[in-house]
């Protein structure tokens, strides 16, 4: 059986382009015992994928040249030679960017659509939601009355992190890149305020005005100038879950900026880089709590859904130009 | 009774100079109940004092213009109107830079010279030693076989932090500013290696060579380029007790440097700014453990002792040009 796949055609210098990827047709092997044939339904594109395009040691192995890209995918079982799964089941896993695929059933998570729509397993109940959950609960540790600032607030992680702050009784301020996004944060997701960094001249002052008691938790998805402005306003005993640095991912070489360490020192600030792999045994806890908040109406989620397997590369590139609100997902 | 005092004459821009200070004669008030008359014996000069010369919010109030400087002092009781202290007792406290002083007995720590020489209460058993103790034990958390790098290693805090690493079975590398100091670290204090940053062209490479398994704990007293080089070599789950930034204290404005946050992110690094005030109830624990290690011969300490009350300003300035090995103390 033939299927289409998307491979890494070149390692980008700076921002990736459509030339970074190549579409191919490949032949699937026959199904072996323990394996399933899957049809991809929803493909996740995420900022961390940029790091895997470099041939450089990181927390996750680089993508291989001329091999299919991979990421979180929700797929339907078309044929099964495994006792664990049956035709028609929906599953989530780290899977190649192929329209159809043959994989081992072990390692696939059965997708429980009674908890949330299937695509939410790429967002609220997937890597982004769990990232927000562990970053806020284990590093941020929000207390009622504190002030939380989220950069990249309208992205999948930011939306969840901000709402976790609200659930804990915090004042939550989001930073995003358009008026449409800042409006959504305040009007639909209950943020107490939001800043459009693209139209704000003095970010440091803007953060100070919206955070009159200073910043206790800075959940950072972005890095760069935005972080400098927030950290200038951080309180004594502030916490910084360091989750992403999307502003720097496409940089060539190491960008420079003000040295903020003296602020971190004199204000006894905790900064902790993290990835969800640091919390391997606690995914069920996170999924249970996030889906409970969803059912109770305390948590909302939103997606930007792009249609068509062909559109996966373009959707990924769109993350770096801020085209998504909430989770960017491609529906095949 | 008259005595001499040293007041803050101007707030320095950049590095302090002898013009920053002014010697005056002042008249002491008569002794009231609960007070003691003290004769200063040993005066501590410390890097953190530079921060207090700025008129800026920090973890400790700024020094006031035209008022006496203050710091940790070991003094002898000349007269007492307090039940707690008697003539001849030695005490340690945060005291003004006066040759003689009248102060409340409450808040003075009686100095137990059976544990260590009196001046050690400004060093090993004082703020520097306790700073090293809490930074290493509570943030660094050294495990046998790990690699520890200490910047400002030949200073009072660095010497103690490095030895705590050795006591826990770590490989310990020190960074200091002269061959004399790097020799002392290795020959007298048992460090496994040391780097003279003033004569080393490629610090990143030098750290990599002395730390073939990477850096697990970076105890940072210095900041700036030295920190960039060490952080480039930090391991997954590394810890950075952020203790001092002496390279930046005299800077005007905010210096720039490479943005190292992506490294902290992808390697899940913990960075924690701290001061010993964060551990208010645990000074007795720290003093007990440090003096026990001293008695057991597991811990050494060294001082640079400058003679004469007149020399206090010069001794303080010497900290920023690296003139001390170990604790800089002025003996009156």
pLDDT of B198 reads 96
Query: Does the CB of B270 have a partner CB in chain A at under 8 Å?
Result: yes
Sign of CA dihedral A202, A206, A211, A216: negative
**Over the stretch B191-233, which tens digit does the pLDDT of each residue have?**
999 999 999 999 999 999 999 999 999 999 999 999 999 999 9
Same fold, A2-123+302-331 and A127-277: no
Distance of alpha carbon B329 from alpha carbon B324, whole angstroms: 9
Retrieve residue B21's tokens. 């200070």
Query: Hey, CA dihedral for A151, A154, A155, A159, is it positive or negative?
Result: positive
Q: Is A265's CB within 8 Å of B257's CB? A: no
Alpha-carbon distance of B321 to B312, in angstroms, equals 15
Task: Tell if the CB–CB gap between B259 and A248 is shorter than 8 Å.
Answer: yes
For chain A, give every domain's residue range.
2-123+302-331, 127-277
Q: What is the model's pLDDT at position A61?
A: 85
Helix (H, G, I), strand (E, B) or coil at B13: coil
Q: Which residue has the higher pLDDT, B59 or B78?
A: B78
**Residue B267, token pair as written in the block:** 């390697």
Chain A residues in contact with B58 by the CB 8 A cut-off are: 266
**Residue B268 near chain A (CB below 8 Å):** yes
Q: What is the pLDDT of residues A199-215, one digit of tens each?
A: 999 999 999 999 999 99
The pLDDT assigned to A55 comes to 87
User: Do B266 and A58 lie within an 8 Å CB cutoff?
Assistant: yes
pLDDT higher than 80, residue B329? yes
pTM over 0.95: no
Assess whether pLDDT exceeds 90 at residue B129.
Answer: yes
Cβ distance of B264 and A255 shorter than 8 Å: no
* DSSP label of A158: H
B244 touches chain A (CB under 8 A): yes
Q: Contacts of residue B275 in chain A, CB cutoff 8 Å?
A: 266, 268
The parts of chain A modelled with pLDDT lower than 70 are 57-59
**What 8-state DSSP symbol labels residue A121?**
G
Instruction: Tell whether domain A127-277 is in CATH 3.40.50.720.
Output: yes
Q: List the single residue in B with minimal CA-CA distance to A61.
A: B266
Mean pLDDT of chain A: 95
Domain B2-123+302-331 has CATH 3.40.50.150: no
* Residue A254 with chain B: CB contacts under 8 Å: 258-260
Q: Which of residues 276-305 of A touch B (CB under 8 A)?
A: 278
């Amino acid at each position: 059986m033939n299927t289409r796949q998307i491979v890494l055609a070149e390692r980008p210098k700076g921002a990736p382009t459509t030339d970074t990827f190549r579409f191919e047709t490949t032949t699937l092997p026959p199904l072996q015992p323990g394996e399933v044939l899957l049809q991809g339904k929803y493909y996740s594109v995420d900022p961390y994928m940029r790091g895997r395009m470099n041939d450089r040691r990181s927390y996750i192995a680089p993508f291989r040249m001329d091999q299919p890209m991979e990421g979180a995918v929700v797929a339907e079982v078309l044929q099964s030679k495994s006792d664990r799964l049956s035709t028609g089941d929906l599953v989530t896993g780290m899977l190649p960017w192929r329209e159809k695929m043959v994989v081992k059933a072990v390692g696939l998570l059965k997708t429980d659509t009674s908890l949330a729509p299937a695509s939410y397993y790429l967002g609220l109940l997937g890597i982004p939601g769990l990232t927000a959950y562990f970053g806020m609960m284990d590093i941020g540790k929000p207390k009622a009355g504190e002030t939380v600032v989220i950069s990249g607030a309208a992205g999948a992680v930011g939306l969840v992190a901000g709402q976790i702050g609200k659930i804990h009784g915090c004042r939550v301020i989001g930073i995003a890149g358009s008026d449409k996004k800042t409006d959504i944060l305040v009007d639909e997701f209950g943020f107490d305020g939001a800043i459009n960094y693209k139209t704000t001249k003095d970010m440091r002052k803007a953060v100070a005005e919206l955070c009159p008691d200073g910043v206790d938790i800075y959940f950072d998805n972005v890095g760069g100038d935005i972080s400098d402005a927030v950290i200038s306003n951080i309180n004594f005993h502030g916490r910084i879950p360091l989750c992403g640095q999307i502003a720097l991912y496409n940089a060539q070489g190491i960008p420079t900026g003000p040295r903020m360490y003296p602020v971190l020192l004199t204000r006894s600030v905790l900064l902790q880089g993290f990835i969800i792999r640091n919390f391997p045994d606690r995914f069920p806890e996170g999924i249970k709590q996030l889906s409970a908040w969803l059912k109770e109406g305390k948590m909302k989620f939103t997606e930007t859904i792009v249609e068509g397997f062909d559109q996966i590369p373009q959707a990924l590139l769109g993350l770096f130009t801020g085209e998504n609100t909430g989770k960017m997902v491609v529906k095949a």
